[in-house]
Structure 1
Amino acid sequence: MTEPLFDVEPLSLFDLPEEATKPATPKAPRVVESPQTPPDAVVDPHVRFLHTADWQLGMTRRFLTGEAQHTYAAARDAAVVRIGEVAAETGAEFVVVCGDVFDDPRVSTRVIRRTLDALGAYPVPVYLLPGNHDPYDATSVYTSAAFVDACPGNVHVLSAAGVVRVRDGVSIVAAPWYSKHPTADLVAEQLAGLAPSDDIRIVVGHGGMDSLSPNPDPSIVRLAGLDAAAASDLVDYVALGDRHSVTSVGDSGRVWYSGAPEVTAFDNVETEPGHVLDVTLRRGGERAVEVRRHKVGQWSFRTIGLDVTGADDVRRLRATLEEIPDKPRTVVQLALVGTLTVSENVMLETLLEEAADRFAAVKFWDRRHDLTVISDAGDLDDLELAGYAAQAAAELADRARADADAGDEDPDAAAARSALSLLYRLAGAAR
């Protein structure tokens, strides 16, 4: 991680009273009431809002360096700004951010203040839920001096579990994280205490789902309870964070992960990042839900898997890379499996050097990349050498083939292949 720590020393657990280090998680929902509705007022049974999550601001990616790292960070900031623009364009009443707004409680004050400046420009209220990366604990970013001092009036931290009235007829059911390791399903705790209501209710939660990644973690969110609450009209929509791809869960159409607004992992993990969800809910007459996706992300992390057994496959990889648009904002992860001769591998290395200059980054997927380089009699065919140089090349080729019969990697053979590769480059034989 390259982001600096707070400009001020974080609070120490040892400097606080004991009770301050033990956040009180309400077992029953707490209701924040709005002003009393006049008897003759008509409550709008319709609401439109934006659902987003997992901004993880302050995040860096270890495979990005220099300019690419700065460009990536700028794109993540731009996605936050774009969400505010989408709110204005769609007529959304508010925005909910379902956990992990910040990547770490120790995120820099620069990130905090710039984020709050961006949120202050939103034309609507913004509700921030503490998640596993930024829980509302004794060292929470949300209680830091930088956050408290810079927080604009339209930004509200959902620090207390329970029901928060957004306006007459619309409520949020908040399930914030108070530590990185909750001992229960926080969303289920809030649903258990809810009484029937005519309000449109939006659950705002965070965490993994048992139907997507079953595991014994006690904090995992259980789909059955969400489906039952939606089917009984107890809640109208469940807005979740933690999964970085847009995902509809279950069959109700009312339980969604928004995904991260900018990609954070390769497409073998994140299948559809880079969006914000535009949600419309209706009650009264016909109960309905409508979810639209708006693209706000700019980057892509592409995985390319390819069997390579010769020069034609290297050329096929070149064609694949050529077709990828917006290369400066694309990271490529390669999983190449097969065998190449020394001369063919020089072709590959030349291609990857060019790609590294054009893309944000090019890396190998270590767990899936399995490429073997061998020396072949044809390796010398393209080298127009004579005399001592030809004799030296032949000797290198012989040494490079030494481990082929033994079946084990010979360090001398590997060094000979490297030397032969360098000879190819100097001779300009690989094109």
Structure 2
Amino acid sequence: MKFIHTSDWQIGRVVRFADDDTLGALQAERLEVIRRLGHLARQEGVTHVLVAGDVYEHETPAERTLHQPIERMREFPDLQWHLIPGNHDADQPEGVWARLLRSGLPANVQIHREPGPVLIDPAQNGWLLPAVLKRRHVLTDLTAYMDEAETPPDALRIGLAHGSVVGFGGESEAEHNPVALDRARRAGLAYLALGDWHGFCQIDARTVYSGTPETDRFTTGGGGGGEAVVVTLRGARAEPEITRHRTGRYLWKKLEDVVLTSGQDVLALEARIRGIAPDNPGVVLVWAAVSGLLPVEDMALYESTILKRLSGAVACLRLTGAPHLSAGTEDLDRFGAGGAVRAAAEQLLARSEAGGVEGQLAADALQRLFLFWQDMGAQAG
């Protein structure tokens, strides 16, 4: 038996730091990735897609948002889509899942709202054992019933759950929605498909988090999602064959401790960010923690290269901190030997050197004055 394991679509997710255009593009891509999953399934000869919870971001999505993922799945009538609730879209009375059932579902979309074995592939004796969240947080392990759940001999028992594996990797044990570390072994599962963690993580040979298919958070390296898993089961006791497939479009990168002290540093930062996706920087979201001291000319380069050109090239440029201006009395000659602007610059420089909150405000104002004066000179030239 061969199937796709995916999770954490979170349709309707809002990214609050993004502008309206970027937010709209990110939300649209979370829908478009459903089509990519469908095409991947056809490419791999798969007939079942298991979605391990959090199809939606909220328990009460708007009517249009409610039906958008369902309509994408409807486009693939040759595939069977199996959905379970997650902590973001728990199966509460009159909640998202009840609304969907009232409105009617395509024949190829099945919502599993109750625990218990379900025969999903008679030809391969494939049985799905869903765990169902009825509330956002529970303290009991909803996968525990799988240990005693009866299926025919040599059945391919596939667990589907949304929660946190307890005690994995030295982390503190999950307080909510716990999943036993050895559930697959204890329940005789051929595979346990998990959702909740947004990056791919293989707990053991049979227990896997697929991660979200469209990346939705900044990371310093990999592991931030944008993948789906294709699983092949060749027997109830055979070890699953697991292959990871890139499904995400957007690339989210976090750059820590970016210290700028020269124009070369500024250009290196630009090259580093453009190098994430040289052929299409428009799919890149970057969060950079920036600090340092730059002289006047290099600060102007930072303004034009990073804040203007680069922010227009990438999907989103989120900056924490900024380089500060390193200016002295000799830099004031840019404003001439006298006049009102020179006098104002001298006062700002003196206040900036005094430090404190007012000093920082004065330094920021002096920086803006230098950049404005340089822009005016460039325009006049």
TM-score normalized with structure 1 length: 0.78
Q: Which of 159, 171, 176 is the aligned partner of 2:127?
A: 171
Which residue pairs with 2:79 in the alignment? 124
Q: CA deviation at 1:176?
A: 1.2
Alignment partner, residue 378 of structure 2: 428
Aligned twin of 2:250: 299
Task: Specify the alignment match of 1:24 in structure 2.
Answer: none
How far did 1:340 drift?
2.3
Q: Which residue does 2:265 correspond to in 1?
A: 313
Hey, what does 2:368 align to over in structure 1? Answer: 418
Shift of the 78–414 alpha-carbon distance from structure 1 to 2, 3 Å rule, reads: closer
Letter paired with 1:220: P
Write the distance in 2 (CA, Å) between the matches of 1:270 and 1:217. 26
Cα deviation for residue 209 of structure 1 reads 2.3
Gaps of 5+ in 2: none
Q: 1:238 aligns with which of 170, 185, 192?
A: 192
331, 339, 349: which one aligns with 2:285: 331
In structure 2, what is the Cα distance between the partners aligned to 1:401 and 1:320? 36
- Asked if 1:55 corresponds to 2:12, the answer is no
Q: 1:136 aligns with which of 64, 82, 91?
A: 91
**Distance in structure 2 (CA, Å) of the matches to 1:377 and 1:150:** 74
Partner of 1:11: none
Partner Cα separation in structure 2 for residue 167 and residue 413 of structure 1: 69
Deviates more, 1:116-125 or 1:239-248: 116-125
Is the 8 Å Cα contact of residues 336 and 342 (structure 2) preserved in structure 1?
no
| TM-fit CA distance, 1:323 | 2.5
Q: Is the 8 A contact 1:129 1:157 kept in 2?
A: yes
The one-letter code matched in structure 2 to 1:180 is: R
Q: Structure 1's 110 and 147: CA in aligned 2 closer, same or farther, altered over 3 A?
A: farther
Kept in 1, the 8 Å contact 2:200–2:209? The answer is yes
Q: What pairs up with 1:191-230 in 2 under 5 angstroms?
A: 191-195=146-150, 197-210=153-166, 211-212=168-169, 213-215=171-173, 217-226=175-184, 228-229=185-186
Q: Is the 8 A contact 1:55 1:262 kept in 2?
A: yes
1:330-368, CA deviations, whole angstroms, 9 ceiling, x for partnerless residues? Answer: 111111132223443232122211122111111114xxx
Which one of the candidate residues 373, 381, 399 is aligned to 2:348? 399
Going from structure 1 to structure 2, the CA distance change for 1:408 and 1:108 (only over 3 Å counts) comes to closer
Are positions 1:157 and 2:115 aligned together? Answer: no
Q: 2:302 — aligned with what?
A: 348
Rounded Cα–Cα distance in structure 2 between residues aligned with 1:119 and 1:136: 20
* Deviations 1:151-181, CA, capped at 9 Å, x for gaps: 1011111100121111331111110110011
Distance apart, 1:78 and its partner CA: 1.2
- For structure 1, which segment, 50-59 or 412-421, has the greater mean C-alpha deviation from structure 2 after superposition? 412-421
CA distance change for structure 1 residues 160 and 246 in 2, over 3 Å: closer, same or farther?
Answer: same
Name the structure 2 match of 1:71.
25
CA distance in 2: counterparts of 1:406 and 1:272, whole angstroms:
40
Q: Does 1:256 align with 2:214?
A: no
Tell whether the 8 Å contact from 1:397 to 1:417 is kept in structure 2 after alignment: no
**What is the aligned partner in structure 1 of residue 45 from structure 2?**
91
Structure 1 CA distance for aligned equivalents of residues 336 and 326 of structure 2: 23
Aligned partners of 1:237, 1:334: CA distance in 2, in Å? 39
Alignment CA distance shift 1:393-1:318 (3 Å): farther
| Separation of aligned partners in 2, 1:319 and 1:393 | 36
Closer, same or farther in 2 for the Cα pair 1:271/1:371, shift >3 Å? farther
Letter in 1 for 2:319: F
Deviations 1:38-87 (A, max 9, x none): xxxxxxxxx10110000001112122223322222222111101111111
1:58–1:102 contact (8 Å) kept in structure 2: yes
Give the partner amino acid of 2:42. Answer: A
Report deviation, 1:245: 1.0
* Residue number in structure 2 paired with 1:17: none
In 2, distance between residues paired with 1:218 and 1:263?
Answer: 24
Per-residue deviation, 1:263: 0.8
| 116-125 or 90-99, which deviates more | 116-125
Report Cα offsets for 1:393-416 as digits up to 9, x if no partner. Answer: 365155225333546652344433
- Give the AA of the match of 1:111: T
In 1, distance between residues paired with 2:47 and 2:71?
Answer: 19
**Contact 1:244–1:270 (CA<8 Å) still a contact in 2?**
no
Using the size of structure 2 for normalisation, the TM-score is: 0.88
Q: Is the Cα–Cα contact under 8 Å of residues 161 and 174 in structure 1 kept in the other structure?
A: yes
CA distance in 1, matches of 2:115, 2:200: 25
Partners of 1:336 and 1:370 within 8 A in 2: yes
Confirm whether residue 281 of structure 1 aligns to residue 281 of structure 2. no
Distance 1:338 1:139 in 2: 54
| Structure 2 CA distance for aligned equivalents of residues 139 and 416 of structure 1 | 59
CA distance in 1, matches of 2:341, 2:202: 63
Instruction: Structure 1 unaligned segments of length 5 or more: list them.
Output: 1-46
Q: Is the 8 A contact 2:216 2:224 kept in 1?
A: no
Please tell me the root mean square deviation across aligned C-alpha atoms, in Å: 2.5
What's the offset of the Cα at 1:370?
A: 6.0
1: distance between equivalents of 2:330 and 2:79?
A: 68
Q: Of 185, 190, 194, which residue of structure 1 is paired with 2:145?
A: 190
Which residue number in structure 2 is paired with residue 386 of structure 1?
336
With over 3 angstroms needed to count, the CA separation of the structure-2 counterparts of 1:86 and 1:414, relative to structure 1, is closer
